[in-house]
Amino acid sequence: MKACIRCKYLTKEDKCPLCGSETSENWRGFLIILDPINSEIARKIKVDCKGKYALSVK
Amino acid sequence: MIFAIRTTTGQEKNVAEFLASRAEKEKIDIYSILATEDLKGYILVEAPNKGAVEDLVRKTFKVKGIVPGEISIDELEHLLSPTKIIESIDKG
Ligand SMILES: [Zn+2]
């Protein structure tokens, strides 16, 4: 999996399907958001779509 | 509410994926699951209550138990924004 350098969404693609930015193989932290409406963690990192995210991307 | 569960070191991400698909399949109310390199042997699970986390980890050898007590979102600040730590170290 690769992480979007902008929104940190994890994907197999070279371009992020959410925002269209480039993706990188250099990422850390693995967060799965199942319920973005109720998740405090999702609010904290400003994620509003369900899915898998990295915590940091280089 | 955020709870920590214990798992095998090195398996954190795999177990997080396993638990996420289980939550979806069995319709257990779980908000998020977090596995980070900074917390070896643990996964964090966010849910409306402890019962949901207990349902999630029931009957799986992949999880060794739930750590007693809740974790506040403020305690996770440094995990959720790792770049801030690096910035503050650079400044100091
Ligand atoms: Zn993106």
Q: Give the structural domain span for A48.
A: 2-57
ipTM, two decimals, is 0.95
Of A29, A32, A41, the CB nearest to B73: A41
pLDDT at B52 over 90: yes
pLDDT at residue number B83: 58
- Cα of A15 vs centre of ligand 1, distance in Å, is 8
pTM of the model: 0.91
The CATH number assigned to the domain with range B2-91 reads: 3.30.70.940
Place of tokens 């698909």: B21
Tell me what the pLDDT averaged over chain B comes to.
90
pLDDT at residue number B90: 58
Domains of chain A: total: 1
User: The domain that contains A16 carries what CATH number?
Assistant: 2.20.28.90
Q: Is B39 on the interface with A (CB under 8 A)?
A: no
pLDDT at residue number B85: 47
Q: In what order do the strands lie in the sheet with B63-66?
A: A51-57, A27-33, B32-35, B42-46, B2-7, B63-66
